[in-house]
Amino acid sequence: MTTPYYLLEEEKLRRNLALIRDVADRSGAEIILAFKAFALWKTFPIFREYISATTASSPDEARLALEEFGAPAHTYSPAYTEHDFPEILRCSSHITFNSLSQFHRFKPTPALSVREGQWGGAPSLGLRVNPEYSEIETELYNPCAPGSRFGVLAEDLPAELPSALEGFHIHCHCESSAENFARTLVHIEEKFSRWFPQLKWINFGGGHLMTRKDYNVELLVETLRGFHARYPHLRMILEPGSAFAWQTGHLVASVVDVVENHGIRTAILDVSFTCHMPDCLEMPYTPEVRGAMASPNPSEGGEPPFSPPSEGAGEAYRLGGNSCLSGDFMGYWQFDHELQVGEEVIFEDMIHYTTVKTNMFNGISHPAIGMLHLDGSLEILRQFSYDDYRSRMD
Ligand SMILES: Cc1ncc(COP(=O)(O)O)c(C=O)c1O
């Protein structure tokens, strides 16, 4: 394949899926895929071998769930509108509202559900609640920060919930550990358990990074089992995204040019941070580059390493994107050799929150998306052309 391209590895994907299914089997929780992190629908037949549902945040994601995944979605959006709600209704088995006002405005009547519902049932309705406790340190990803627009606070809930509400949805994790979840659950129960007898299900959201090497899977299973023992009538749902696609593939780029300015050397690539790896700039976090070392030591969630490395620390480069955004670069990385034009540079772990977030700013060509199958064969899932750029503005 010619660069640039994302390459998803089936073996690694199946390894994550098997772990997630095992957690679901042993904990009694249903674990569903959040499309916001990963929605390469051509891989859904593989997912269907391990999980049975997905979660959507928009009419299009909900439609993808129904039509491509083959099961109606668990849908949550902070902002349903009259225009999009009929499609949400058609494609969802569960619909979570962000506020009581959204619930009262859109709660479907049984008659409407039957008329609109294509999958043959009325959706179960839920409400997002905000536990005002989260151990997420990056504000951009903290849904429980003071003033957050997500979910209803305990103090604003009526003692008696509307009878049509059957579930609570709580999302307050991001790349979090089982210890984060165990501690957070104490706060969730403290604030919300008085309403549990009125509910049928509870969705603990995403951010449970159970496929990360150091994740304490046993603690997660134990924590969920403990919760189930305390509230056996509540069906537990988890909806991670990242955990499914975590470390399942990479983005392969090539060096196009090397430029120097005041002693700062930048290798310009045929990919862009802002277009193809947006979280690197947004979060920001420093991606791993195969065969190179970030300098100084990158701290996840901290500032990217912008100061030049010390003398004699190898060949140090900023890596620069091919867009016109001045800040479309990161660095430094140290390589053990001088980079040559045409040489490949591989960004590790570039499958989650990439292909769902990429854009065509500057008309820059979008990396192809490939999949390496178990038998070693390479399938090109998608290649992009001028028509894709043009048709966005048809
Ligand atoms: C409501 C909700 N559910 C699930 C997720 C998926 O989270 P992650 O990909 O971190 O597991 C998110 C991420 O922002 C979210 O906002």
Give 91-139 pLDDT, tens digit per residue: 999 999 999 999 999 998 665 555 555 666 789 999 999 999 999 888 8
Ligand 1 pocket, residue 206 CB under 6 Å: yes
- pLDDT at position 361 over 70: yes
Q: What is the pLDDT of residue 305?
A: 46
Give percent of the chain with pLDDT exceeding 90.
87
| Distance of CA 340 from the midpoint of ligand 1 (Å) | 39
Atom of ligand 1 nearest to the CA of 174: 10
Residues 6 or more apart whose CB falls under 8 angstroms from that of 221 comprise 23, 26, 27
Q: 51-84 in b/e burial notation, b at 16+ Cβ within 10 A?
A: bebbbbbbbebbbbbbeebebbbbbbbeebeeee
- What pLDDT, on a 0 to 100 scale, did the predictor assign at position 336? 95
Tell me the CA–centroid distance for residue 304 and ligand 1, in Å: 23
**237 close to 32: Cβ distance less than 8 angstroms:** yes
Judge if the beta carbon of residue 240 lies within 6 A of ligand 1: yes
pLDDT value for 119: 65
CB 238 near ligand 1, within 6 Å: no
- Number of the ligand 1 atom closest to the C-alpha atom of 37: 9
pLDDT digits (tens, 9 = 90+) for 63-74: 999 999 999 999
pLDDT confidence of residue 360: 97
CA 173 to centroid of ligand 1, rounded, Å = 8
Q: What confidence tens digit (pLDDT) does each residue in 288-318 have? A: 999 999 975 333 333 444 455 555 567 999 9
Ligand 1 binding pocket includes 74 (Cβ within 6 Å):
no
Mind listing the pLDDT tens digit for each residue in 174-203?
Answer: 999 999 999 999 999 999 999 999 999 999
**Token reading at 188:** 């969730």
Over residues 254-263, the mean pLDDT reads 96
Q: Is 207 in the pocket of ligand 1 (CB under 6 A)?
A: yes
Residues whose CB is less than 8 angstroms from the CB of residue 259 and which lie 6 or more positions away in sequence, other chains included: 265, 266, 268, 320
Looking from the CA of residue 205, the nearest atom of ligand 1 is 3
pLDDT of the residue at 297: 39
Ramachandran angles phi, psi of 13, nearest 5°: -65, -45
State residue 312's pLDDT score: 57
**1 C-alpha to center of ligand 1: Å?**
32
Q: Is 331 exposed, middle or buried (0-12, 13-18, 19+ CB in 10 A)?
A: buried
Using most ligand atoms within 8 A of CB, pick from 31, 174, 204 the residue to mutate for ligand 1: 174
Q: Which residue owns the Cα nearest ligand 1 atom 15?
A: 206
**Mean pLDDT calculated for residue range 248-263:** 97
% pLDDT > 70, the chain: 92
Q: How many CA atoms lie within 13 A of 119 on its CB side?
A: 23
Of 91-95, 110-114, 372-376, 385-389, the one with minimum mean pLDDT is 110-114
- Arithmetic mean of pLDDT, 151-155: 98
The answer for residues whose C-beta is within 8 angstroms of residue 124's C-beta and 6 or more apart is 93, 94, 95, 166, 167, 200, 201
Tokens of 257: 């040019």
Instruction: Name the residue with the closest Cα to ligand 1, atom 13.
Output: 206
Q: Which residues pair with 259 in a beta bridge?
A: 266
Q: Is the distance from the beta carbon of residue 151 to the nearest atom of ligand 1 less than 6 Å?
A: no
- Note the pLDDT tens digit of each residue in 33-63: 999 999 999 999 999 999 999 999 999 999 9
Which tokens is 351 given?
């499958």
For a pocket test of ligand 1, which of 23, 36, 204 has the largest count of ligand atoms closer than 8 A to its C-beta? 36
| Per-residue pLDDT at 301 | 37
Q: How many CB atoms lie within 10 A of CB 291?
A: 11
Question: Of 13, 42, 14, whose CA–CA distance to 369 is shortest?
Answer: 42
DSSP symbol at 279: H
Helices 10-27 and 217-230: crossing angle, nearest 10°? 30
Q: Is 319:266 a contact under the CB 8 Å cutoff?
A: yes
